[in-house]
Amino acid sequence: MPRSKLLGRQQRAVTTIRTGPDGEQIIETVWDPEWLDEDYAWSAAYLRWLAGKCPGCRLDLVDTTAMHDGEPVHTYKVPTPRRCHACDARVAAQEEHAKKKVIRPEALTWQIEQTS
């Protein structure tokens, strides 16, 4: 969806009615473009921003790959992971369901509902 539409731009249309050479009515509607030049520019900038991210950690590659005198410029630590209890419940249900020998389990969709 174009950024300008997300920001509330309404697409406008102009309809003209004219009479053709044989006397028939010709109705023509011309719409504003769905994507403005600014929308394309924002989209291209977003794609460039995404391309600059590490696919693993999603941090900026310019920082995570920076070197100085053969050594990494930055150091990183990984804190103790947190457990998502919603995902934990889903994984447990999937493991239990897998014991039933379901045909093509990868085609199943799993929804999580909060109960309390």
Residue 101 is predicted with a pLDDT of 83
Q: How many CA atoms lie within 13 A of 36 on its CB side?
A: 13
Q: To the nearest whole percent, how much of the chain has pLDDT over 70? A: 100
Whether 10 shows a pLDDT value over 90: the answer reads yes
pLDDT tens figures, 58-84 = 999 999 999 999 999 999 999 999 999
Residue 105 is predicted with a pLDDT of 84
Residue 91 is predicted with a pLDDT of 95
pTM score: 0.58
What confidence category does residue 50 fall into, taking pLDDT thresholds of 50, 70 and 90?
Answer: very high
Q: Is 5 exposed, middle or buried (0-12, 13-18, 19+ CB in 10 A)?
A: middle
Dihedrals phi, psi of 26, to nearest 5 degrees: -115, 120
Whether 7 shows a pLDDT value over 90: the answer reads yes
